[in-house]
A and B are shown apart, each in its own frame.
Chain A
């Protein structure tokens, strides 16, 4: 049944990584991304890989879940690799015949560029695998709140995200119900060409939109009758606290950043 699909890709187990403050985890993810772009040598990539393995191990998320998150990008990664392999310039020629010319430099560049993509996706996936969507939007709200000075609607943005996430399962359930109701009236969603299939969606989409608007109206009314008036002066149900684990994690991430910067200074241009 549609109702039971998992929300986002959150992997609901308990671990030290899951319990980290979402604000900190967001910051860690940003620092990690910076590190991925700063790394220029083999040593740097080994460091990044080691960090990912450590985080994955501590989070109790099976490694295959991380690999699964890479699947949608596999073609982009492969194409990046091939383009860099065939079209980068270099001195040390390995293979050369007809128009194909593969150099050592091109190979390494191709390898590193695709690894960079892999690390970026894996690192951010680890964030969404270990942080529930609600915690994530809480974290985003707080991280964006300094921008309120320039009238950036941080609270409203986070509230919109939370509501949208909350209604995904509800609307899926609704879709399932309307689909069945129309099938009971002889609707056919499965056969026919593209045009007739698109037409067959009308009896599904119209009631779905009508009910989405109705729900939105009801929700707005319910929020207003509970005196919701935006983020100003609003206290939270779950107050986020930075604990010991957060500081330890921050130290590890800081260490990674320092090492990557040092690597950039001393090993620049040294690929192996």
Chain B
């Protein structure tokens, strides 16, 4: 399914003394099967933007077209649409409410009106997607889980509706490195294996470098730039002026280039930087170095 955003503008408390323009004239298209990263500084309007994409907020002006149909049109069943476009909020673990993990995950499918067998099947599928062992966790209270597990259970609650588009707002915020890595590899798998279109909001450039196939940069409610991570991260000055940064690998690559190393200027993933460095190491005429230097 395709999502097209046309000239989206959103103003909070329009017409009152405290009105805030959160988004102004944002246009873009989400392609089927892509992993779109939305990056921007705190308060740039990212969260406001994603809440429009499944109709939780109404635009002040502009349109959101889902498969060519206006999301806020009169005869649109927004409740059904919300189940096809799954939205995972920031800190989703705070929305858990049921007695057991399985019941909580079943909340979405139940609202879809599925049969008990189908619901059970969905719960197993969703728990499998987020790497929570069904036998071990299904009957546990969600409030007994660790922070990272709670978050994965909450994400499973959205995945159980089998959305064709999954939107995540800062899915790794406040997690330890291990919890973060688990969420990211889970998303990577979901994108590769289940062909789910994913939209992720984050301000971790390293997360984006690892996962995104395309990036949107938002600054003060406006779309500043869009392109592949390679194009975006090569423009370090623009990223810095937007209050963002570039991935650690890009920073290291730049610092090495400034010291005269022969490296391309658009590296942003740790793996590709490693490859180039190993190549340089071998070329520098130190035979056997690749064996000694395998730990670098």
Contacts and interface: CB of A to CB of B under 8 A. Distances in A.
A184 B111 contact: no
B12 A4 contact: yes
Contact of A1 (B13, B94, B95, B161): B13
B96 A207 contact: yes
Contacts of B111: 185-188
A50 B16 CA distance: 33
Contacts of B18: 4
Most buried by B among A182, A184, A186, A206: A184
Nearest to A184: B87
A187 B16 CA distance: 31
Contact of B79 (A4, A181, A186): A186
A186 B82 CA distance: 7
B50 to A, nearest CB: 10
A185 B107 contact: yes
B117 to A, nearest CB: 19
Contacts of A187: 107, 111
A177 interface: yes
B45 interface: no
A203 interface: yes
B221 interface: no
B161 A185 contact: yes
B95 A182 contact: yes
A184 B89 contact: yes
A75 to B, nearest CB: 30
Interface in B100-151: 107-108, 111-112, 143
A183 B161 CA distance: 13
A11 to B, nearest CB: 13
A186 B92 contact: no
Q: Is the interface of A mostly helix, strand, loop or mixed?
A: helix
A202 interface: yes
A210 interface: yes
Interface string A86-123: 00000000000000000000000000000000000000
Interface range on chain B (Cβ under 8 Å from partner): 20 to 34
Given A185-B157, A185-B161, A4 B13 contact: yes
Contacts of A188: 79, 111
Nearest to B110: A186
Nearest to B109: A186
A207 B95 contact: yes
A184 B160 CA distance: 12
Interface string B186-214: 00000000000000000000000000000
Given A207-B97, A211-B94, A185 B79 contact: no
B97 to A, nearest CB: 4
Nearest to B157: A185
A178 interface: yes
Given A186-B112, A186-B161, A180 B89 contact: yes
A209 to B, nearest CB: 9
Contacts of B161: 185-186
A188 B112 CA distance: 11
B76 to A, nearest CB: 15
Nearest to A204: B97
B52 to A, nearest CB: 12
A184 B158 contact: yes
A200 B31 CA distance: 35
Interface in A184-230: 184-188, 202-203, 206-207, 210-211
Interface of A: 1, 4, 174, 177-178, 180-188, 202-203, 206-207, 210-211
Given A185-B108, A186-B161, A188-B111, 18 more contacts: A1-B13, A4-B12, A4-B16, A4-B18, A178-B94, A180-B51, A180-B89, A184-B88, A185-B82, A185-B111, A185-B157, A186-B79, A186-B108, A188-B79, A203-B95, A203-B107, A207-B95, A210-B94
Which 6 pairs, one residue from A and one from B, show the smallest C-beta to C-beta distance? A186-B111, A206-B97, A181-B95, A185-B108, A184-B87, A181-B89
